[in-house]
A and B are shown apart, each in its own frame.
Chain A
Amino acid sequence: MTGDIAVLGAGLHPWGKWGRNFVEYGTAAARAALADAQLDWRDAQLVVGADTVRGGYPGHVAGAAFAQALGWQGARVSSVYAACASGAQAINTARAQILAGMVDVALVVGADAAPKGFFAPAGGDRPDDPDWLRFRVLGATNPVYFGLYARRRMARYGDTPQDFAQVKVKNAAAGAVNPNARYRKAVSAEEVAASPVVADPLRLLDICATSDGGAALVLSSMAFARRRGVAPVRIRAVSTVTPRYPRTALDLPDFATDSAAAVPPPEVGFRASIAAAAYEEAGTGPADLDLAEVYDLSTALELEWYEDVGLCPAGEGAKLLREGATALGGRVPVNPSGGLASFGEAVPAQAIAQVCELTWQLRGQAGGRQVPGARCGLAANQGLFGHGAAVIAVR
């Protein structure tokens, strides 16, 4: 086990398609988080930016872009890119420096302005980049991978398109009462079924959109929080694991899994190992969770997360959903924020936004989507190329 750090402030810029510079969203979120923490920006000794990527490199190199926008004040800076896991790694970078005693107060910011349509790789002729190659050779957009996973679940576990639609219905109901969500209205199973197929068996409303948005957290040492006389939400664990060889689950942007012919696969697969590492570090388990925020890039993928974070055995994700256990009011609500289904993905902001939601839930400030008496929450996500990330927060 490692030590706790304190969450002093959380802030979001609402998700949407606003068409402005990502720095503006991040700065708005940072100001909101600082106000929530009742701290001045000049109190932050470290700023960590979760990077967005433009033209094949981390655009504006995010940590310094936010520091400049907030006003140069000399803080240490770090900029982190780990695809969808960028935000969680940014949190972990701040946490490591806090736990090492290098800084007392850190500001973590992630923001993005997403282009319309499919995510696409940077331009040019870049055959050494697997992400470029999968588009070039296979035309394999992200939804193609989501479709493969969904079909596999149908064949292996008997999940149905109706189960997948029900995930959207559940998350839309939660997002409808979240003022920061992009989509704030209820969606019916019929509306999901009437939306066009994007990647069989998944339809448009099964797949998360790409959004603009910004998220920020003010993190501190427990000693600093105590000196200020607050009993904060604490981050107890951050998992940032990579897969173990041979990796036998197909992942973006890969053309193939590793071969298990010469070396047997590990007992715990990559996705299950993401939460397992966080549980081990926190000294908790899935039975301790009051809620979870998981990366529902597609509806079917949310069911997979139920199993991978240990809420139910493999293959029983749809059963857990049908029982209502993961809806607001259920035994362990999943994505009470509304999830990516209601937000759409603003890549470097998303994992930070998950932890903002945990913070508000654990403080009892989540309004109409509040999980009563929540004391322990998990956020889990996965960035392409093998970046696992999970955060456990407690009150």
Chain B
Amino acid sequence: MERTPVVSGWFSGDGDDFRLLGTRCRACGSVFFPRADAFCRNPSCDGTELDQTPLSRTGTVWSYTDSRYRPPAPYPCDPEAPWEPFTVLAVELAAERMVVLGQAAPDVTTADLAVGMAVELVPGVLHRDAERVWGTWHWRPTGVAV
């Protein structure tokens, strides 16, 4: 089944080409994620032309945690299935000088992580229901086999 992005326009590509998509202001060079398409949010810039720009594929762990309890709607999950905690990472991207959140790949627990560790972006599945596979982005320590 083909993956439907959980949000359209936030990421694209396959395998090593998978990237989060931000935008960059043509006037001041500021980068935005989630994307800003109409107006630059730098208060000293009047820019209105922003180009889509892929964000760095790799970064370092700024912090991490997990969700031991089921989040409420609209988090997509099967309420009948036993709850499996997921891990959340905040990842610092050096070139963009920003921190971006994301869930960890499903096999990654907080015990596998440390602040400052190198991680990479990989395509992931948020949820499968009868009609669709919802695609998202995941972070995973670099050099770990799929």
Select from chain B the residue with minimum beta-carbon distance to A127: B7
Q: Which of A136, A245, A254, A261 contacts B41 (CB 8 A)?
A: A245
Min C-beta distance of B45 to chain A, whole Å: 8
A151 to B113, CA, bound (A): 11
Of A28-36, A142-150, A350-358, A366-374, which stretch is located at the interface? A142-150
Q: Establish whether residues B41 and A138, one from each chain, have CB atoms under 8 Å apart when the complex forms.
A: no
Question: Is A18 in the interface zone, CB < 8 Å from B?
Answer: no
Q: Mark B88-122, 1 if CB is under 8 A from A, else 0.
A: 10100001111111110000001000111000000
Q: Which of B28, B41, B72, B90 contacts A258 (CB 8 A)?
A: B41
CB contacts (< 8 Å) of A57 on chain B: these are: none
Question: Is B142 in the interface zone, CB < 8 Å from A?
Answer: no
Say whether chain A's binding surface is mostly helix, strand, loop, or mixed.
loop
Min C-beta distance of B122 to chain A, whole Å: 16
Q: Establish whether residues B73 and A140, one from each chain, have CB atoms under 8 Å apart when the complex forms.
A: no
Of A44-52, A171-179, A192-200, A324-332, which stretch is located at the interface? A192-200
Q: Establish whether residues B68 and A196, one from each chain, have CB atoms under 8 Å apart when the complex forms.
A: yes
Min C-beta distance of A248 to chain B, whole Å: 8
Q: Mark A235-260, 1 if CB is under 8 A from B, else 0.
A: 00000000001101010001111111
Say whether chain B's binding surface is mostly helix, strand, loop, or mixed.
loop
A246 to B96, CA, bound (A): 12
Of A81-89, A113-121, A279-287, which stretch is located at the interface? A113-121
A283 to B65, CA, bound (A): 40
Q: Which of B30, B62, B90 contacts A261 (CB 8 A)?
A: B30
Select from chain B the residue with minimum beta-carbon distance to A124: B74
Question: Is A227 in the interface zone, CB < 8 Å from B?
Answer: no
Q: Establish whether residues A118 and B72, one from each chain, have CB atoms under 8 Å apart when the complex forms.
A: yes
A144 to B90, CA, bound (A): 11
Q: Establish whether residues B30 and A136, one from each chain, have CB atoms under 8 Å apart when the complex forms.
A: no
Q: Establish whether residues B88 and A140, one from each chain, have CB atoms under 8 Å apart when the complex forms.
A: yes
Q: Which of A137, A141, A156, A245 contacts B43 (CB 8 A)?
A: A245
Min C-beta distance of A364 to chain B, whole Å: 42
Number of interface residues of B (CB under 8 A): 47
Select from chain A the residue with minimum beta-carbon distance to B70: A139
Min C-beta distance of B114 to chain A, whole Å: 8
Question: Size range of the interface on A?
Answer: 35 or more
Q: Establish whether residues A255 and B64, one from each chain, have CB atoms under 8 Å apart when the complex forms.
A: no
A155 to B89, CA, bound (A): 14
Q: Which of A133, A140, A149, A256 contacts B100 (CB 8 A)?
A: A256
Select from chain B the residue with minimum beta-carbon distance to A152: B63
| A261 in contact with B33 given A148-B65, A151-B63 (CB within 8 Å) | no
Q: Establish whether residues B68 and A199, one from each chain, have CB atoms under 8 Å apart when the complex forms.
A: yes
A259 to B29, CA, bound (A): 10
Q: Establish whether residues A198 and B68, one from each chain, have CB atoms under 8 Å apart when the complex forms.
A: yes
CB contacts (< 8 Å) of A130 on chain B: these are: 34
CB contacts (< 8 Å) of B18 on chain A: these are: none
A331 to B53, CA, bound (A): 52
CB contacts (< 8 Å) of A261 on chain B: these are: 29-31, 95-98
CB contacts (< 8 Å) of B7 on chain A: these are: 127, 133, 137
A140 to B72, CA, bound (A): 10
Question: Is A72 in the interface zone, CB < 8 Å from B?
Answer: no
| A120 in contact with B101 given A199-B67, A263-B30 (CB within 8 Å) | no
Q: Mark B50-64, 1 if CB is under 8 A from A, else 0.
A: 000000000000111
Q: Establish whether residues B101 and A256, one from each chain, have CB atoms under 8 Å apart when the complex forms.
A: yes
| A148 in contact with B88 given A118-B72, A155-B115, A263-B30 (CB within 8 Å) | yes
CB contacts (< 8 Å) of B73 on chain A: these are: 120, 123, 135
Q: Establish whether residues B31 and A259, one from each chain, have CB atoms under 8 Å apart when the complex forms.
A: yes
Question: Is A100 in the interface zone, CB < 8 Å from B?
Answer: no
Q: Establish whether residues B75 and A135, one from each chain, have CB atoms under 8 Å apart when the complex forms.
A: yes
User: Which 4 A-B pairs have CB atoms at the shortest separation, nearest pair first?
Assistant: A147-B65, A155-B115, A120-B72, A139-B71
16 new A-B contacts, CB < 8 A, other than A141-B69, A245-B41, A256-B99, are: A117-B72, A136-B75, A137-B6, A137-B126, A139-B71, A148-B64, A151-B64, A200-B65, A200-B68, A248-B99, A250-B99, A255-B100, A259-B96, A260-B98, A262-B31, A263-B28
Pairs A–B under 8 Å by Cβ, sample size 16: A130-B34, A136-B6, A136-B74, A143-B67, A155-B63, A199-B65, A200-B64, A200-B65, A202-B65, A256-B34, A256-B100, A259-B30, A259-B32, A261-B30, A262-B28, A262-B42
